[in-house]
Chains A and B, each alone.
Chain A
Amino acid sequence: AQSVTQLDSQVPVFEEAPVELRCNYSSSVSVYLFWYVQYPNQGLQLLLKYLSGSTLVKGINGFEAEFNKSQTSFHLRKPSVHISDTAEYFCAVTDGGFKTIFGAGTRLFVKA
């Protein structure tokens, strides 16, 4: 069975600092990987997705993620965060079935 582990429940960081949100998955087959963001009082929004090809995926708002098959990881990074990046971030995986499995989320808090 698939599962997703987001290693940090909360990540505080100062504005303009780099950030990495960690995600590990388990699956016995090839997977598709996603990062979603949920801003306060808004619905989930796709940041980026890995389907195949290049392991470095670029998304919206300056975020990128790298798929590492050997480490079964899909960490999200941004070189310089803004106050407006404060939100909850969810990593998700699907193995080609209809079910998408989400992690528990990481709350990113950007401080001035």
Chain B
Amino acid sequence: GAGVSQTPSNKVTEKGKYVELRCDPISGHTALYWYRQSLGQGPEFLIYFQGTGAADDSGLPNDRFFAVRPEGSVSTLKIQRTERGDSAVYLCASSPGGATPLTDTQYFGPGTRLTVL
């Protein structure tokens, strides 16, 4: 079956603009994660969804960042008033979830490269 997909693959925007990044998880996966990967760094946790609800959003850097998953499948990461420091690759991952989400294998998408000019 299809893996995790993310759109767009690249997004260039101007400082102050609003952007939306989309993640389509593997069908049937209830757990979904967003990460941010800056150049030369490992992925940095942003938010974790179990189903439709955000079980842990402690990694969101500030209130300009928001994520939704209204039907428990597709998720959208929204960034308001973008800043140059938001430039990074945004990764999405999904896992089966269920009783032991913490030890599940996470399946990563190819990422969206966001550039804020």
| Nearest CB of A to B11, in Å | 17
B42 near A98 with CB under 8 A, answer: no
Closest to A95 in B: B102
- Docked Cα-Cα span, A96 to B91, in Å, equals 21
Q: What total of chain B residues lie within 8 Å of the partner, measured CB to CB?
A: 26
- Docked Cα-Cα span, A100 to B42, in Å, equals 11
A43 near B55 with CB under 8 A, answer: no
- Docked Cα-Cα span, A107 to B17, in Å, equals 34
Q: What total of chain A residues lie within 8 Å of the partner, measured CB to CB?
A: 24
Q: Which of A14-22, A44-52, A61-69, A74-82 contacts B (4 or more CB under 8 A)?
A: A44-52
Show 20 A/B contacts (Cβ-Cβ < 8 Å), sorted by A.
A32-B103, A42-B110, A43-B3, A43-B91, A43-B110, A43-B111, A44-B43, A44-B91, A44-B93, A51-B103, A90-B43, A97-B102, A98-B48, A98-B101, A102-B35, A102-B44, A103-B42, A104-B40, A104-B41, A104-B42
Q: Which residues of A are in contact with B by a Cβ distance under 8 Å?
A: 4, 32, 36, 41-46, 49, 51, 90, 92, 94, 96-105
